[in-house]
Amino acid sequence: MNIKKKTLELLSLEGRVAVITGGASGIGLGTAIRLAEVGASVALLDIDKSSGKKAAKEIRRLGGDVEFFSCDVTSYSECEAAARAVYEEFGRIDILFNNAGVIRRKNTLELSEEEWDLVLSIDLKAIYLLSHHVIPYMIENGGGSIINTGSGWGLKGGPNAVAYCAAMGGTVNLTRAMAIDHGKQSIRVNCVCPGDTDTPLLSDEAAQLGEDEEEFIRKASDRPLERVGVPEDIANAVLYFASDMSSWVTGAILVVDGGGLA
């Protein structure tokens, strides 16, 4: 076999179906486009119906096979219904990218109970909910790949972000526990930990802190590679975990942050 062809086959996702939460924008949308480029059929899950439909339309314009499914990832019943709908539409689920997330930039004294619950529900509980409903379909296929979005603040603390840091720390160890539990079913579970990435979430952080967005991004660029990330940076890492390139990798935590934690 041609050596170049062999490598490309390892990266190919032809015939596989990927579910992406928070798929209407940012890292989710960037990853959806990347996975579609290498042949995956993509199911976008998001609570924002308007943006989700717009994102699906854009991916179709680029030649991708995609469907949008409205889903509140904090709801057991909606996650169950979404997983079932994806399976009925595509006939299988091979990849789950648990990517939906929010942040509240507050310390323990400032943070309300409602804000704590919101962050933990979207950033951590949703991983359990989607995985709970998707894993049976993966088992039916003979295996699969789950990728969770964590953060550098899942590996170290950060200022004025107690709920987010708690959720990200939980995501990192949840990933490891799931990898142990489901390896016997040929399901690999890994975690990508982005640094500051140019997405609506980063703009929202600046607004929450009352900072000028351009100045906020300039300060966030103070890292060895001297820039913030873009969604494609994270998408490339997700593709690695989703593809056969990482066939013997599970329980891994991959930091993609331009050297911010170095």
76 catalytic residue (yes or no): no
Q: Would the CA dihedral through 110, 201, 28, 81 be positive or negative?
A: positive
Q: Would the CA dihedral through 138, 144, 146, 147 be positive or negative?
A: negative
Distance separating alpha carbons of residues 207 and 187, to the nearest angstrom:
39
Sequence-distant (6+) residues with CB within 8 A of 173 are: none
**Is beta strand 41-46 parallel, antiparallel or unpaired with respect to 17-21?**
parallel
Q: Which helix (H) or strand (E) is 126 found in, with range?
A: helix 126-141
Which of 171, 169, 168, 189 has its CA nearest to residue 179?
Answer: 189
Three-state DSSP state, 7: helix
Maximal C-alpha separation, the chain: 62
**Catalytic residue chosen out of the listed positions 76, 128, 137, 164:** 164
Q: What are the catalytic residues?
A: 164
